[in-house]
Structure 1
Amino acid sequence: MTGKIYNVLFLCTGNSARSILAEAIMNRVGQGRFKAYSAGSQAKGEVHPFTLDLLKQMNFDTGFARSKNWDEFAAPGAPTMDFVFTVCDNAAKESCPVWPGQPMSAHWGIPDPASATGTDAEKRLAFSEAYRMLNARISIFTNLPLASIDRLALQDRLDSIGRTSDLNGAA
């Protein structure tokens, strides 16, 4: 294995919930091998309070959490991305951003917890479910043999992770 640190960008529409959760998870799970970022195509400008609450409950430092537009990562001096994952959910008919350039990319759609309805407990459950699904997918990804897998096989694996529907027990 090389000492390369892979830059990963998680994109969604508002950059207030799913992509922020994914950024936090990747930076914890992939510590030392991956550096995660997040952005949105139409950033809301603030992180959803339930996102922050959940991360704090999971002992994350939330100082990193900031809702930002994906244009920030296309600007001069921005980190060069190795991977870009969209986490918006096609089933909800959201417009997912398309990232130009050379990074490998895949769609890992997750239902938007920020659009959950019901009681606060039901809404918080939606955030917990999004966290669980993202954690499972990110854990699978970080265990791929990136240094020894060819690009075509890796793309197939990235796409496969995004199609994983039963993530119970995935670690």
Structure 2
Amino acid sequence: MSLAAKRLQMERVQFKKRHPFGFFARYTTKTDGTQDMMKWRCGVKMDEDGPWHGATVEMHMEFSEDYPGRPPKVILCQIGGATCFHPNIYPSGAVCLSILNEDKDWRPTLTVTTILNGIKDLLNNPNPNSPAQEDAYKVYIEDDKHEKWHKKVKEQSELIKSGKAYTD
């Protein structure tokens, strides 16, 4: 078993043991029915009083054989066929977060739980200094209260909570 696989197996055991409230993280299933420990499906339940109004934002984490030396690739699932409307989410769904960048703040000691906490914080508090999605960025910086951005995010959160957002 590779170092990456051993580390991910340990992280999964620790995650199940501690089971952070509002998070899920599990291996995906390969076409042959076996579990793929290098590809995870994860979710973060957002705060009721935040911009996502209690929706659970889902994503895929893909780990390389170089993990934990290199960060996983994190892609947010499309919401009703559209990219998450957020200044720090690329049109592809990739997350623009310094802890996911090996040239910036990635450290091998970071865990899946740490990453999920970082994503939750980013979704609640966009970083206007690191835009990844032009339309969401423009709407977000348009006014100090970010009212148009909050409205669009609320629409996506309602779609998530309706159970009709994720098809993959």
- Please give the TM-score of this superposition, normalised by the length of structure 2: 0.29
Q: Which has the larger radius of gyration?
A: 2
**Greater helix proportion:** 1
RCO higher in structure (CA 8 A, sep ≥6): 1
